[in-house]
Homo-oligomer: A and B are copies of this chain.
Amino acid sequence: MSWQPAFTQGHTRDRTNQFIGQLRRVSCPLPETLEFLQRLCREPRRVCAKSDIVLSGTPSAYLHIVLSGWACRTRTLADGRRQITAFLLSGDICDLDNVFFDPPGESVSALTECEVAAIPKARLRDLARRDADFAEALGWFAAHDKVVLGARIASLGQRPAQERIAHLLCELITRLRARGEANGDSCRVPLTQEQLGEALGLTTVHVNRVLQGLRADNVVVRDGDRLTILDWEGLQAIGCFSPTYLHLPGRTHSQPIA
């Protein structure tokens, strides 16, 4: 498995750190806070694909942040069925709620090889106490997660399969674009159809058929783990997607729905 994180630029200094970037975008943490976090990010843990970053039910003293690669939060029901509750991209916090609730109720698994930063929870709390701006940023992250979860609930509850898939693809592409990990209308989406199904509450078989439908209509094409949008307007329309709820910075190559 040769996954290569797609960095926008290859600076000689710290390469683009999405987490620190977001942090600074939503608040003004103290220099010492940033420095501490940056130091931690400089020696990330390498996690290989398909292994767990956080294991539900197992207490953990760390908060985890994805620096590169793809991961997902999963919840396993008593009968073994799995639900993916979120996809985590570079800069996303894995288990913010577990700062308060230990052991975690959800697992986090790497979908590709990942670089993960681990912050001791005790230090994090300390940081938040000392630095109100940082605390506020954490609140922002939590609120952001809540919004995205709410959107997913609406999708699962109200939308038929095709719309649901289209919406998820729109969301992923938009988030990738904001990170500079998409080239125009094409990007890597290293998800199997089974994983898409687990996130959307659909079976692999049905995901496959719907995806073929979208392809037949010249909306999207998947070739391996490369996803190409042929008709961005169309995909948005099918998924009733409006990127505003993601609260991302700058251009996301999309117009608000009139």
Contact = CB atoms under 8 A, between A and B. Distances in A.
Interface residues of A, number: 52
Interface string A69-106: 00001010111011101000000000011111100011
A176 B210 CA distance: 41
A36 interface: no
B106 A157 contact: no
Give the number of copies in the complex: 2
Given A128-B135, A132-B128, A135-B128, A97 B154 contact: no
A167 B89 CA distance: 31
A196 to B, nearest CB: 12
Interface of A: 26, 73, 75, 77-79, 81-83, 85, 96-101, 105-106, 125, 128-129, 132, 135-136, 138-140, 142-147, 149-154, 156-159, 198-201, 240, 244-245, 247, 257
